[in-house]
Amino acid sequence: MSTFFKLLFRNRLAAMGAVVLSVILILVLITPLLPLQNPDITATADRFQKPFADGHLLGTDHLGRDLLSRLLHGTRLSLAVGISAALIAATIGSAIGIIAGYFGGRTDNIIMRGVDMLMAFPYILLALAIVAALGPGLMNALIAVAAVNVPFFARNIRGITVGLAGREFIDAARLAGMGHTRIILTELLPNVLPVIIIAMSTTIGWMILETAGLSFLGLGSQPPQADLGSMLGEARSAMISHPHTSVVPGIMIFLIVMSINLLGDGIRDALDPRLRSGALSRPRATTLVERTGDVPEATDDLLAIQDLETQFHVNKRIYRAVGGVSLSVKPGECLGVIGESGSGKSVTALSVMGLVASPPGVITAGAVRFRGEDLIDAPYESLRQKRGDRVAYIFQDPLSTLHPLYRVGQQLAEAIQSHHKISKAEARERAIQLLEDVRIPNAESRVDNFPHEMSGGMRQRVGIAMALANEPNVIIADEPTTALDVTVQAQILSLLDDLRRDRGLAIVFITHDFGVVAQLCDRVAVVYAGRVVEEGPTGAVLDAPAHPYTKRLIACVPELGGGRRMLSAIPGLPPVVDDLPPGCAFAPRCDKAQEKCRHIDISLAGTGDRSVRCLYPEELV
């Protein structure tokens, strides 16, 4: 809740709207307590007094009634009617929308055709017709305004509900045996409530205007009762001779509607779940860099990640997702990065090209060097040119990385054309060639498929083809085979292996599966809680793991034909990275941990190509 207000008030216009609206609301709430004159008492002798006249701060109207008193009482009435109309319309409209959207089929059809019929009339005409039928009066105006706005809510909410009703969590609720009412109230309503609130906050102003419009025409509040619309209506005949009588209610309507709309927009932005996690500002094009300390020296590796630290600053909490990671690859080399989920593998990978969303991500130390050039703090244009061209990514879920509405060929062509000027026909040729490279059979016709027409394995190949599109020097593959079955996984791995042999591609392969590492990688780095705990040649690490964590990880992998062996899970959970212990992060789960392990900062030490971050490493054979 506090984040909501913080976000809301970061938006200056919304804050201004909130302040103006609160002042007006407080004024109308205490109106009966203020020493005001009776708004309805006429004194024809005092008619049309100018503002600041004796005893009448805002002057008087054509019947000598005090304008200030009428204004405050009128505003009170207008706001009450407008807000009630909005609440009624939102409640009834949303209920209709949820029922139509949730039950679907014939219920939906009948309800929505009724709503369509209401919407077929211009809504002002409809409101006039309703008041004409019911007779003039503020209550009837309220009913009319609420009624003409019901379809707006019903349509909006139905659309959202239809989308939600087909989702898995609703199916799960049904399978759990929940009744319709319970599903609607506990599963659907919380999801549509923000939309209802947003729709309401953006339409209240509009409903206040509509009520004022009806009163202006003499169909709403009846004399002598004042509301903003009727005050305007009565002032109409004296608009030229005594403009203050219409300016006063006019300014009030303007202030109310403006402040409600500004506030409504602010609420909409602050409630948007996509904006909530970060800030209201759009994510930056590259990760924010706030480096302290020295920048490490350049090395002769193709890609070198040096002492990289990436944190997430959420409110006052600091999540140290990557706490000083150093990794490097040479051309044609494959480095495996392995660790439990949440250990910081993806954040490390995304930091390389400045792809961690900021806010909340911040790179606080270290360097990432591509051919010696530091990419952190590089100008955006230079990073953009390398993204997808020199360093490309393959992500875990191919369905969410491909655009659902474009053919895969178009998407491949786009990946090429954003870095190279080539004609459409050439780009298509190249797309087909790429699909053949990743062994998609029948590439000629597959190139015109949409992502949903392909299987998971095919889509992942398209993802790989896209990463290869510009013949990059480095591919960072973030769990590219986790979503695939074992046979497809094997094919993809051998494909990547061929590519690196043929093209001298360097691969950083992120996974949580030692089996995959063994098949593909020359070297492996084991990460735990945002730090590398062991690194070395794959074979050597697999044969004789030095860090207790690595040993436990390997013990989790079943082996075909390996005989009977105890498979042991690692007890405990990975630590939460906003509260890391001072010593070894694995100590609480380690059966060899001593008192010392928990307190001192242990460095990554080793001989030759093996290194380990442990005070009591396993004996190396």
Contacting ligand ADP (CB under 6 A), which of 94, 156, 326, 346?
Answer: 346
- Write out the two tokens for 166: 């087909």
CB of 339 to ligand ADP, least distance (A): 6
- Write out the two tokens for 78: 């207008």
d(CA 608, CA 540): 12
Q: In sequence order, what are the residues at sequence separation of 6 or more whose Cβ sits closer than 8 angstroms to the Cβ of residue 91? A: none
Q: In sequence order, what are the residues at sequence separation of 6 or more whose Cβ sits closer than 8 angstroms to the Cβ of residue 564? A: none
Which of 112-120, 149-157, 244-252, 336-344 is the region at the interface with ligand ADP (rule: CB under 6 A)?
Answer: 336-344
CB 212 within 8 A of CB 81: no
CB of 514 to Mg ion, least distance (A): 16
CB 63 within 8 A of CB 189: no
d(CA 314, CA 317): 5
d(CA 289, CA 478): 23
SS3 223: coil
d(CA 117, CA 449): 40
CB of 473 to Mg ion, least distance (A): 23
Contact of residue 577 among Mg ion, ligand ADP, none (CB under 5-8 Å per partner type):
ligand ADP
Site string for Mg ion, 335-364 (x = CB under 5 A): -----------x------------------
Exposed/middle/buried for residue 565 (C-beta within 10 Å: 0-12, 13-18, 19+): exposed
SS3 332: coil
CB of 378 to Mg ion, least distance (A): 24
Which of 150-158, 162-170, 226-234, 343-351 is the region at the interface with ligand ADP (rule: CB under 6 A)?
Answer: 343-351
CB 54 within 8 A of CB 65: no
Give the residue closest to Mg ion by C-beta: 346
CB of 606 to ligand ADP, least distance (A): 23
Bridge partner list, 313? 318
CB of 273 to ligand ADP, least distance (A): 13
Which of 169-177, 236-244, 339-347, 437-445 is the region at the interface with ligand ADP (rule: CB under 6 A)?
Answer: 339-347
Contact of residue 321 among ligand ADP, Mg ion, none (CB under 5-8 Å per partner type):
ligand ADP
- Please identify which residue in the block is written with the tokens 């964590």: 549
Site string for ligand ADP, 564-583 (x = CB under 6 A): -------------x------
CB of 162 to ligand ADP, least distance (A): 30
Contacting ligand ADP (CB under 6 A), which of 312, 370, 393, 528?
Answer: 312
- When the beta carbons of 86 and 577 are compared against ligand ADP, the nearer one is 577
DSSP E strand stretches across 267-358: 288-289, 303-314, 317-329, 334-338
CB of 400 to Mg ion, least distance (A): 13
CB of 349 to Mg ion, least distance (A): 8
Residue 141: CB atoms within 10 Å: 28
Which of 183-191, 251-259, 312-320, 323-331 is the region at the interface with ligand ADP (rule: CB under 6 A)?
Answer: 312-320
314 binds ligand ADP (CB under 6 A): yes
DSSP E strand stretches across 469-585: 474-478, 506-511, 523-528, 531-537
CB of 583 to ligand ADP, least distance (A): 19
Which of 58-66, 145-153, 344-352, 420-428 is the region at the interface with ligand ADP (rule: CB under 6 A)?
Answer: 344-352
CB 114 within 8 A of CB 99: no
- When the beta carbons of 130 and 347 are compared against ligand ADP, the nearer one is 347
CB 391 within 8 A of CB 383: no
343 binds ligand ADP (CB under 6 A): yes
Contact of residue 466 among Mg ion, ligand ADP, none (CB under 5-8 Å per partner type):
none
SS3 373: strand
151 binds ligand ADP (CB under 6 A): no
- Write out the two tokens for 10: 């970061």
CB of 478 to Mg ion, least distance (A): 6
Listing DSSP states for 547-570 in one string gives SHHHHHHHHTS--TTS-S----PP
- Write out the two tokens for 379: 């100008």
- When the beta carbons of 342 and 588 are compared against ligand ADP, the nearer one is 342
Q: Is the peptide bond before 379 cis (omega within 30 degrees of 0)?
A: no
321 binds ligand ADP (CB under 6 A): yes
Contact of residue 549 among ligand ADP, Mg ion, none (CB under 5-8 Å per partner type):
none
Q: For 77, list phi and psi in degrees, rounded to 5.
A: -70, -45
CB 478 within 8 A of CB 338: no
Contacting ligand ADP (CB under 6 A), which of 17, 97, 205, 339?
Answer: 339
Q: At residue 552, what is the residue type?
A: R
Site string for ligand ADP, 524-563 (x = CB under 6 A): ----------------------------------------
Contacting ligand ADP (CB under 6 A), which of 21, 98, 347, 435?
Answer: 347
Which of 230-238, 286-294, 335-343, 580-588 is the region at the interface with ligand ADP (rule: CB under 6 A)?
Answer: 335-343
Contacting ligand ADP (CB under 6 A), which of 332, 342, 515, 588?
Answer: 342
SS3 164: helix
CB 509 within 8 A of CB 349: no
Contact of residue 249 among ligand ADP, Mg ion, none (CB under 5-8 Å per partner type):
none
- When the beta carbons of 215 and 346 are compared against Mg ion, the nearer one is 346
Total of chain residues touching ligand ADP, rule CB under 6 A? 14
- When the beta carbons of 211 and 346 are compared against Mg ion, the nearer one is 346
Which of 58-66, 138-146, 338-346, 455-463 is the region at the interface with ligand ADP (rule: CB under 6 A)?
Answer: 338-346
Contact of residue 344 among Mg ion, ligand ADP, none (CB under 5-8 Å per partner type):
ligand ADP
- When the beta carbons of 149 and 460 are compared against Mg ion, the nearer one is 460
Q: At residue 297, what is the residue type?
A: E
d(CA 178, CA 181): 8
337 binds ligand ADP (CB under 6 A): no
Please report, for the chain, how many H helices and E strands are present, in that order. 23, 12
Q: In sequence order, what are the residues at sequence separation of 6 or more whose Cβ sits closer than 8 angstroms to the Cβ of residue 617? A: 546, 547
Task: Please report, as ranges, the residues that interact with Mg ion according to CB under 5 A.
Answer: 346
Task: Please report, as ranges, the residues that interact with ligand ADP according to CB under 6 A.
Answer: 312, 314, 319, 321, 339, 341-347, 360, 577
